[in-house]
Amino acid sequence: MSDFRHQTVSTNGIRMHVAEAGEGYPVVLCHGFPELWYSWRHQMRALAEAGFRAIVPDQRGYGETDAPQPVEAYTQQQLVADIVGMLDALGLTKCVIVGHDWGGAVAWNAALMAPQRIERVVGVNTPFVPRMPLQPTDVMKAIAQGQFHYVLYFQQPGVAEAELERDVRRSLRGFYQAAEDLLGTIDQSAPPGVFGPAGGGILDRLPDRPHGKFLTGDDFEVFARAFQRTGFRGGLNWYRCMDRSWEESAGLEHLVKQPALMITAEFDPVLRPELCVGMEAFVPNLQKIVLIKGAGHWTQQEKPAEVNAALLGFIADLRAYPGD
């Protein structure tokens, strides 16, 4: 990892760890749950080699970045403010923002909440979804119909932490399964996020076997050591703020106007490609939807060459602009 630079910046009342690679136009990459800056290692190298500056934070609640205790500290407004403050600390006016999983929500919301700071936006697996008429957990309860929905399971503070932190390595192995490992184990006919009958915990739905081959043993240890130190509370609090974020978004314009790229994964069990249908109505400058064949949820790690090609093709013309 000697090709990456590391620093800590002050932003929005917290200390944020930021990894970087390369020089040139800035590209900010936002990770999801349960991940770290390291999830973007393949893209960081590709961006640096192509003449861009990759900027990758451990987001609030993760890794070496601060993890405030209050649940309400993890709304989308706070998470976007973290990114804006990071840009300020680095002396940057604008950037391309890329987000996967929960990082995708931050990317789309940054485009809405701080449009003057976002040149272009890229969603990886996470589509842009306009504000719903009902709060998110009510929608999920209606979808679940009394069955197990992992997001609803994550809502009660302490419950998922106790389960996941009992054996951090087992928990992460269960999460970090590749597409080929999950074929036949996830019911694709069930609504996204619904994993069988009610009862039990998330690990009852995740296999207890080696992690996917997209991670080496050393890669896995980076994640395992980090979550053994921090636990999962910070990341879980993002889920617990869904309704708060929904309430705070009432006054926002729900139209992403920046040029955008959507990267989807063929076998993501939750963020399925079909969720992008009709997205052009709310993202009028959506340039392309790219389907990554054979990818599961961990798209940028499972299929880095394909993701890198799509990303670099979308921003190639910005190479001429060095950034601030």
Evaluated on CA atoms 295, 57, 229, 126, the torsion sign reads negative
pLDDT, position 2 = 65
Q: Of 76, 25, 82, nearest to 52 (Cα)?
A: 25
The whole-angstrom distance between residue 196's C-alpha and the CA centroid of its chain comes to 24
pLDDT, position 188 = 65
Q: Is position 297 annotated as part of the catalytic site?
A: yes
CA distance 209 to 17: 31
Point out the catalytic residue in the list 66, 82, 101, 268. 101
Q: What is the pLDDT of residues 140-187, one digit of tens each?
A: 999 999 999 999 999 999 999 999 999 999 999 999 999 877 765 556
pLDDT, position 251 = 87
Q: Of 135, 131, 167, nearest to 240 (Cα)?
A: 135
Q: Of 275, 263, 175, nearest to 220 (Cα)?
A: 175
Low-confidence ranges of the chain (pLDDT < 50): none
Domain annotation for the chain: domains and CATH numbers: 5-320 (3.40.50.1820)
Q: Which residues pair with 54 in a beta bridge?
A: 21, 27
- What tokens appear for 55 in the block? 């900027």
pTM: 0.96
User: Which amino acid, residue 84?
Assistant: V
E strand or H helix at 25: strand 25-30
pLDDT, position 324 = 67
Q: What is the pLDDT of residues 19-58, one digit of tens each?
A: 999 999 999 999 999 999 999 999 999 999 999 999 999 9
